[in-house]
Structure 1
Amino acid sequence: MSSTHEARLGELDRLLDSVQVTPELADELFAVVDLLDRQPALRRALTDPGAGDAERGALLDALFAERLGVATREVVRAAVGLRWASPSGLAAALERQGVRAVLTVAQAAGTLDAVEDELFRFERLVSADSGLRSAISDRSAPLAARQQLVADLIESRVEAATTKLARRAVAARSRSFELTVDSYLTLAAALRERALARVVVARPLSDEQQGRLAAALTRQLGREVSLQVLVDPAVIGGVRVTVGDEIIEGTVAGRLEDARRQLG
């Protein structure tokens, strides 16, 4: 992701954070995204570098003036006013704000911890079940049917926000369901100004061990962390931590692999 693209996303993040975020705002943003996904010609018209701001604004008013709330129109208009590398970039940017809106509402309701944990656990379940993963990622099947499959599996067991985000993740804007959920978890951590640390260990960690690890990572990174712990006996021992693009390798398997590479 280029620095320019990151700056544009950051601008939209700050705008969303400045308005009153409601469940309706999230739903309306997702509805706009779904419309853009269905109509490539509309995406191109709203991102046409040859069109002026007034022209794109008039198109927005014609489409959405009577359909969207004030806050939603403000976010959509700001997104359309930015320059994206491709027409799909606009839809992805608005999807991000819809996800952030869902997470922000959950944070205000005191359920963000539960939503994070439920999303993480379901993503791990999908990753471990090849049949389920294939069913969710089968693009020959209608998206709505695949989203309903996810809802049927978890809707009665998790927070409503978890179901909503899991359904959205089926579209796999970040190349796969699992990577898309990971991007949601990163956004959730960022809302609380935390880093997301994915931890791989050979055996489950106790609450005390997780607390010590979180404290050590906080000291090392200079900010609080949200831990997502994966158990993988293949690591043999120790712990592997991934924070963004940085990998902190402390497993026996990792050290053996390093030695093997050095011996050539």
Structure 2
Amino acid sequence: MRGSSAKSLDATLSAVSAVPGSSAAQVGAELFGVVAALDGAIAARRLLSDPSIETEGKRSLVAGIFGGKVGADTVSVLEAAVAGRWAAGRDLTDGLEIAGVAAYTRSADAAGQGDVLENELFEAGQVIHGSAELRQVISDRSVPVGAKTTLLRDVFGGKVSSATLALLTQAAVARTGSFERVLDIFSRQVAAREDRLVAVARVAYELDDAERDRLTAALSRRYGRSIQLNTVVDPSVIGGIAVSVGDEVVDATMSTRLEAARRRIAG
């Protein structure tokens, strides 16, 4: 987000940071519920993001729509959100979704499970990506969200934390893009809580601890940031490594070098 929406998002996230860690997960769940409600109520969303309406009027509208349906901590976040200036009504709901992720992240950190949340999101994403049938269902926009939620609960319930399952389920709604794209955005947001970047390394074999430490240190030096390193074992790379950090990809795999050589020979 940019401009006024970015400033409004910052204020909304500041309100999330003031929520006690013990109730942050509930706030996250309620914010996701609010997003779903406003996505289905365009008129209300427009009113809540209308810059010509006074803040008090918007807060009264929040109370009228959500009063008694969400807790006081969630109301405080909603009030911070509607007090801002959003470039579009969709920016408001996108911001509230981001705030929901932040709330779940705060809950995980308060429980000492922040790193667990990061790792579980990545590993669950790999499981879905590696199953053509599962990936097809989760990515199919014609499949009802309720059916996707049930499927994700059946596959991951009891195997990942409740926060991870909640973020997977929200990513499956695919409000701002494909499931995989949204999950990647959520994962980056979780990592960013400690000013970390997420790096994904594609390798031919599982790295040992020493190799992971060396690669992490090298990437940290290059980007000047702490790195959350995730690895994907892909025998097709033959040797070498391909690393993606955000939109930047450094491909030093043997398979890529062989393909480049073949193209040069072919002219």
Question: Is the structural similarity TM-score above 0.5?
Answer: yes
| Residue 10 of structure 1: aligned partner | 10
- Assess, with a 3 A threshold, how the Cα gap between structure 1 residues 81 and 18 changes in structure 2: closer, same or farther: same
* 2:31 paired with 1:48: no
State the 1:106 CA deviation: 1.0
1:60-113 CA distance string (max 9 Å, x none): 122233333332112111212223333222111111111111111111112222
Q: Compare 11-20 and 175-184 and name the one that shifted more.
A: 11-20
Tell me how far apart the structure 1 counterparts of residues 113 and 141 of structure 2 sit (CA, whole Å): 32
Equivalent residue for 2:154? 152
Tell me the distance in 2 between the aligned counterparts of 1:86 and 1:216.
41
Partner of 1:107: 109
Report the counterpart of residue 210 of structure 1 in structure 2: 212
Distance between the aligned counterparts of 2:154 and 2:216, measured in 1? 34
Q: Point out where structure 2 has 5 or more consecutive residues left out of the alignment.
A: none
User: How far did residue 255 of structure 1 move?
Assistant: 4.3
SS of the residue aligned with 2:191? helix
Q: Deviations over 1:17-76 (max 9, x none)?
A: 133242222222122112112222221221234433233222112223333333211211
One-letter identity of the residue aligned with 1:201: V
Please list the CA deviations of residues 92-137 of structure 1 after superposition, one character each: whole Å capped at 9, or x if unmatched.
1111111111111111112222222222111112112222111112
Of 237, 243, 246, 2:245 maps to 243
* Residue 84 of structure 1 pairs with residue 92 of structure 2: no
Checking the alignment, whether the CA contact within 8 Å between 2:4 and 2:87 is kept in structure 1 is: no
- Is contact 1:174–1:183 with CA below 8 Å preserved after alignment? no
Q: Contact 1:123–1:181 at 8 Å: present in 2 too?
A: yes
Question: Is the 8 Å Cα contact of residues 5 and 91 (structure 2) preserved in structure 1?
Answer: no
Percentage of pairs with the same residue: 38
Aligned length: 264
> AA paired with 2:140?
D
1:20 and 2:20 correspond: yes
SS in 2 for 1:170: helix
Aligned-partner residue type, residue 202 of structure 1: A
User: Out of 187, 204, 226, which is 2:189 matched to?
Assistant: 187
Cα gap change, 1:5/1:238 in structure 2, threshold over 3 Å: closer, same or farther?
Answer: farther
Relative contact order, higher structure (CA 8 A, sep 6+)? 2
Secondary structure of the corresponding residue to residue 173 of structure 2: coil
For the pair 1:64 / 2:66, whether they are aligned, the reply is yes
Q: Distance in 2 between matches of 1:204 and 1:161?
A: 27
Report the alpha carbon displacement of residue 152 of structure 1 after superposing the two structures with TM. 0.9
Distance 1:12 1:247 in 2: 32
Give, in whole Å, the separation in 2 of the partners of 1:203 and 1:7. 44
8 Å contact kept, 1:148–1:167:
no
2:95 to 93, 96, 105: 93
Question: Deviations along 1:213-242, whole A, 9 cap, x unmatched?
Answer: 111111222221101111223333222222
In the other structure, the counterpart of 1:201 is 203
TM-score by length of 1: 0.89
For 2:122, the equivalent position in structure 1 comes to 120
Match of 2:166 in 1: 164
CA distance 1:89–1:249, shift in 2 (3 Å): same
Q: 1:58 to 1:7 in 2, by over 3 A?
A: closer
Q: Tell me the C-alpha RMSD between the 2 structures.
A: 2.4
The 1:241/1:6 distance shift into structure 2, 3 A limit, reads farther
Consecutive unaligned residues of structure 1, counting only runs of 5 or more, are none
Kept in 2: contact 1:115–1:161 (CA 8 A):
yes
Select between 229-238 and 151-160 the one with higher mean Cα deviation: 229-238
Cα distance 1:100–1:52, how it changes in 2: closer, same or farther (>3 A)?
A: same
